[in-house]
Amino acid sequence: MNNIQLPKHFFEDNPLSEISAAKLTHFEMITNTMTDLYDEVNNAIISGMEKSRYEQYMAEKDHIMNLNRAEDIVSSMRKFKDPVNSGVLLQKALDYQNEVMPLVLKKICTSGYDIFIERAAILFANADEKYTKQLYDIFPDIRNTYARSELCIVFGVRKKAEYTQLLMEQFKKIKEERPDTDYEQGPLLALYLIYQIA
């Protein structure tokens, strides 16, 4: 299990930011499974769309609904434009996860596309748990700092206390690599979730 001891006063010394990319991704990870809430929010957004945006939203939604190849689904994770379609895309990826997840595991190691990174993190949080272990196994190969930050949140959502050492290492490493950002909030939020502080 977990025999890693967090430093004394770790959470007091490292408070979570009020708002961060990590918190927004976490929110999407957990609300995508709350279909009633998700539908209510999306319906409110859709009803207020201008005609041109609505047409674009519908065209993109139809495109996503008609995808039936893993490669095309993964490609759409890099290209979709309307956030209202994120749930449709997530569900499509989950429907094809046996074919999609190996491609995502490969691409996430080198991707620098923020939108793909965020969609991948949300997908890992909702996919079969076996992919969480596979994500852990490839973690040293993930080059992009933002990708590592966002993917750490998956371990928090999954309550992977046994990954505490990795999360502590990433927290320190990301702070050193990118002191100009709040990317350290990803592994920090994961630790808060594991230890039920958040």
Q: Which two tokens stand for residue 7?
A: 């430093």
Question: What is the C-alpha to C-alpha distance for residues 155 and 163, in angstroms, rounded to an integer?
Answer: 7
State the pTM of this model.
Answer: 0.91
Question: What is the C-alpha to C-alpha distance for residues 151 and 147, in angstroms, rounded to an integer?
Answer: 6
Res 198: pLDDT? 57
Asked whether the beta carbons of 148 and 142 are under 8 A apart, the reply is yes
Residues 6+ apart with CB under 8 A from 114: 146
Number of residues written out for the chain = 198
Amino acid letter for position 27: F
The pLDDT tens digits along the chain (198 residues) read 455 778 889 999 999 999 999 999 999 999 877 778 777 888 888 889 899 999 999 999 999 999 999 999 999 999 888 888 888 999 999 999 999 999 999 999 999 999 999 999 999 999 999 999 999 999 999 999 999 999 999 999 999 999 999 999 999 999 999 999 999 999 999 999 999 875
Question: What is the C-alpha to C-alpha distance for residues 16 and 29, in angstroms, rounded to an integer?
Answer: 18
Amino acid letter for position 161: A
Question: What is the C-alpha to C-alpha distance for residues 127 and 119, in angstroms, rounded to an integer?
Answer: 12
Our CA dihedral for 187, 190, 194, 198, rounded to 10 degrees, sits at 120
Amino acid letter for position 157: V
Structural domain spans, the chain: 10-194
Res 1: pLDDT? 45
Reported as type and span, the H/E element at residue 161 is none
Asked whether the beta carbons of 29 and 126 are under 8 A apart, the reply is yes
Question: What is the C-alpha to C-alpha distance for residues 2 and 175, in angstroms, rounded to an integer?
Answer: 24
Question: What is the C-alpha to C-alpha distance for residues 2 and 95, in angstroms, rounded to an integer?
Answer: 33
